[in-house]
Amino acid sequence: MRKFLLIIIGLVITVLGYSREFVVTDFGVKNDSSMLCTRAIQNVIDSASQNGGGTVVIPRGVFLSGALFFKPHTRLKLLEGAILKGSDDIAHYPLLPSRMEGKILDYYAALINAYSVDSFSITGPGTINGNGLKFWKQFWAYRDSLKKLGQYATNLDVHRPRLIFIQNCNYVTVQNVKLCNSGYWTTHLYKCNHILIENAEIRSPSKPIPAPSTDGIDLDVCSNVVIRNCYISVNDDAVCIKGGKGPLAHKLSENGVVENVLIENCRAAFPSPSILTLGSECVHAQNIKVRNCSVENCSEILLLKMRPDTYQVYEDISVENVTGTCKNVIKMNPWKQFANLEGTTEKPFGIVRNITISNIKADCMQLGIMEGNPEDQVSDIVFSNINISAKTPGIKTHFNNLKFENVVINGVLFDKN
């Protein structure tokens, strides 16, 4: 009984703590878009945590900041007209042990960071603006300079911050907020459980300067996720399932499964290539559902990247009730970019099984492409109740065990045989 009472008291204190609001301008933070206020906002976050917790509130105005680190029992709220704007100087984002592109490595902090902050939330209706233009220009200039030498640039070569990085947190909420112009990935969650991302607007441009690798939402070793009523238009994957890469990735404790994900009532728009991408850094994805969504001039609805240097399992995936315009309903292809067997004699392969795509109505180039690496195993792939118009009526594949049920292309019932 005593233990139970202590738990109840702790919950009450937590709720009361979160109900306290710390409006940053009440603590000396200046509403001046030209003044870097990282330290002043961080002091408010630290004070809130030290005094039992609370919600750090950004009021109307533009507040320029470098990396901010949220502490236990703190949250972030942006009021109407509030803009938290990221500095475009990488020196304002400290280099820390982190997680990037399926590896544990030192990388630069994001604009918003939360490590082991349970019940962390970011709520709007204000905006977090990554101010990424300078970083994008640096990336493309560097890539072009290497290209002239016959070399290739990687995403990590040009140092640029993510917008949001959340690690080892339970019960995470990102709700009613606008996220835009990230220097790198927009929202990266690593080893988090019970996540709700709802009514978020996530954007990055393709013109006049493309915003490279500004993924909308990256789920990296996460479980029990709901992504609902979001609009995502970014210059890379809308929702991307990650979890590790490399020939031994499936054996390393820092990697793992992404499971129990629901994506519903969302809209993915150009330049996002797909509404859901599995890979390129993914060892295991299971029980993922996309339903009641739309695509606007995307490349694919479902994109599966098959790494030749990583053991991968993609299973129990369903995509249903999707409408719009795209190049392919599904695309599965080898992903050989910077593949590295790391000196091992491993011969990785992928397993893709129990994938259902149903109730699709779209204008496309074709139904899809399904071509994996030579040893990839594909089974129980079902296309059901699909009605599309397509310039090329068919699917490009060497797999013979795909099942088609009431698939109509250009008004004609499709028969792969």
pLDDT classification of 18: cutoffs 50, 70, 90: low
Closest of 271, 285, 266 to residue 215, by C-alpha:
271
CA distance 408 to 413: 4
Distance in angstroms (rounded) separating the CA atoms of residues 414 and 408: 6
Omega before 59 within 30 of 0, i.e. cis: no
Q: Give per-residue pLDDT as tens, 135-158.
A: 999 999 999 999 999 988 899 999
Residue 16 pLDDT greater than 70, yes or no: no
Closest CA to 126 of 162, 82, 171, 167: 82
- Cα–Cα dist 159/180, whole Å: 18
**Cβ-based neighbours of 310, under 8 Å, separated by 6 or more:** 244, 245, 246, 247, 249, 250, 281, 282, 283, 348, 350
The model's pTM is 0.94
Residue 412, classified by CB atoms within 10 Å of its CB into exposed (0-12), middle (13-18) or buried (19+), is exposed
pLDDT at residue 46 greater than cutoff 80 = yes
Mean pLDDT on 302-325: 97
Residue 182: HSE in the Cβ half-sphere, 13 Å Cα cutoff: 31
pLDDT in tens, 95-144: 999 999 999 999 999 999 999 999 999 999 999 999 999 999 999 999 99
Say if residue 191's pLDDT is above 70: yes
Spatial distance between the Cα atoms of 220 and 237, rounded to a whole number of angstroms? 14
Binned at pLDDT 50, 70 and 90, residue 201 comes out as very high
Return the pLDDT at 19. 73
For residues 216 and 268, give the distance between their C-alpha atoms in angstroms, rounded to a whole number. 10
Residue 4 has pLDDT above 90, yes or no: no
